[in-house]
Amino acid sequence: MLLQCGDMSCTTILIGKAASYDGSTIVARNDDSGHGKYDPKRFVAVRPEDQPRRYVSEISHAVKDLPDDPCLYSIVPNALPGRGILAEAGASVRNVAMSATETIAVNERVLAADPMVALVPAVGEPGEEGYRPEQPGGIGEEDFITLVLPYVHTAREGVERLGALLERYGTYEANGIAISDVDEIWYVETIGGHHWIARRVPDDCYAAIPNQLGLDDFDLEDALGDQKEHMCSADMREFIETNHLDVSMDADPRHLSHLNPRALFGTRTDKDHIYNTPRAWYMQRYLNPSDDWDSPNARYTPISDDIPWCRRPENKVSIEDVDFLMSSHFEGTPYDPYGTRGTEETRRRYRPIGINRNGQLVALQIRPYAPEGNRSVMWISYGSNPFTSLAPFYANVTSTPDYLANTTGEVTTDSFYWTNRIIAALADPHYQANRNDIEHYREDVLSFGHRLVAATDAAVDSARADASVNNITRSEEPYVVSNDLADANQAMADYLRARTQQLLGSVLYTSSNLMRNAFSMSDR
């Protein structure tokens, strides 16, 4: 099987601590490959001694010297070479988490004012007439987590470091990046090659983000002043004014204190109405169901350009809600490709969230009630999200289970990624016939995962209490890792492997009986 890499697309949901079911901050994103391309994923821990001190971007060839004090962190990068590390999602021993990136778009005026910093290949050979050396590009999705996560202690500090890197090196693509800790979630959007804005997610809100510039309200005075809820490039006001980016009809110059970045910097195209806005519409439809979403008088429709970036949900949001939303395909609407409502045209009209090209989904949960050593949990799934389930893994470990870590280009059921992709391909043509088995699988994996986390937390707490009673001094190593966490991750992987194999068998049997060449008469 030939696998290629291409531009990434994805869907993100951010859940503030007062909007989540247990007071955690939750950052979730599924990582999708481009059309016709599939990127295998793996789950690995990066020890401080394995973090590079001199980093070279594979795509842009930019060279960066890194600090000498990285911490332990876990990531879910691409399994195959060719596009750099592409860490995608990660959490550190310092309980800072990061998701990178949500591919977005900025308009032509922005690109003219601050062009992307793309790699310019060398022309000719050294010594030849007209030779021009290579000009390295900026930083991008392949680099962000590796350059930021192991060096910061808070989400706010992460935004500051990322902003400084963007201003120094520039970027060759437009992206949204989420950075969280136990108290805050920040969302950063790149504006052209060197500029950026960031907003803190309100504690009692969620933010639903497809592949478009999402921020719709930004307090520039705060960003350039106290930075309580907003941050940005130091010259953002001058950048807007000099390049005539303000399109508001409000003649009062004070309106610039509150901007609509979506209007100033973003795009509004027919492609957005097919690919992006329907996903934001569906996520908000699910989390705020009392609103009118479907009548001719509905305030927001799948093609609305003004769907809010963030809202207060009607009920607190759980991991199960995240799993459903990031696996969804417009269930209960005429736009469900597996549904019976609407027409053949409506069922294929919009790009679903759960799509064949999902590579991984990670929900980064930082829990305030857990001790710092086991506070961060990475809920992980691989492959097409409608056919799999999130499963929890502790981030503060020095190694990860082979079933999730040793993904290669070989299609094998020894790999969680490949097994899930096989299941999806077998089940998709007969979705309704396989649906019950998939739903039972998700229920089993999620419930086992919650039980395992609760039991592991209790075991870690008990061990800590015993150490205190016996006056055992805790190690002063740069990072302290409990063996209980690695054991729990292995137990989760073992259960996941057995239960996924069981689902594969069920789906294979059901889909085999529904093959087009089936014939009911046997020889006996």
Q: How far apart are CA 424 and CA 507, in angstroms?
A: 9
Residue 10 three-state SS: strand
Given a contact cutoff of 8 angstroms between Cβ atoms, the answer to whether 219 and 230 are in contact is yes
Given a contact cutoff of 8 angstroms between Cβ atoms, the answer to whether 80 and 94 are in contact is no
Give residue 438's identity as a one-letter amino acid code: I
Q: How far apart are CA 246 and CA 255, in angstroms?
A: 10
DSSP string, 369-414: TS-GGG-EEEEEEES-GGG---EEEESS-S---HHHH---SS--TT
Active site residue 10: yes
Tokens found for residue 104:
């977005």
Residue 70 three-state SS: coil
Give residue 447's identity as a one-letter amino acid code: S
Tokens found for residue 411:
């299609």
The alpha-helical segments, DSSP class H, found in 131-187 are 144-148, 155-169
Length of the chain: 524
Q: 303: which DSSP letter?
A: T
Given a contact cutoff of 8 angstroms between Cβ atoms, the answer to whether 38 and 421 are in contact is yes
From edge to edge, which strands make up the β-sheet containing 230-232?
44-46, 73-75, 89-92, 97-103, 175-180, 185-191, 195-200, 230-232
Given a contact cutoff of 8 angstroms between Cβ atoms, the answer to whether 497 and 441 are in contact is no
Of 416, 488, 411, 486, residue with least CA distance to 42: 416
Q: Hey, which residues does 177 pair with through a beta bridge?
A: 100, 188
- Annotated catalytic residue, options 5, 10, 232, 310: 10
Q: Residue 30: in which H helix or E strand, if any?
A: strand 25-32
Q: How far apart are CA 195 and CA 159, in angstroms?
A: 13
Catalytic residues: 10
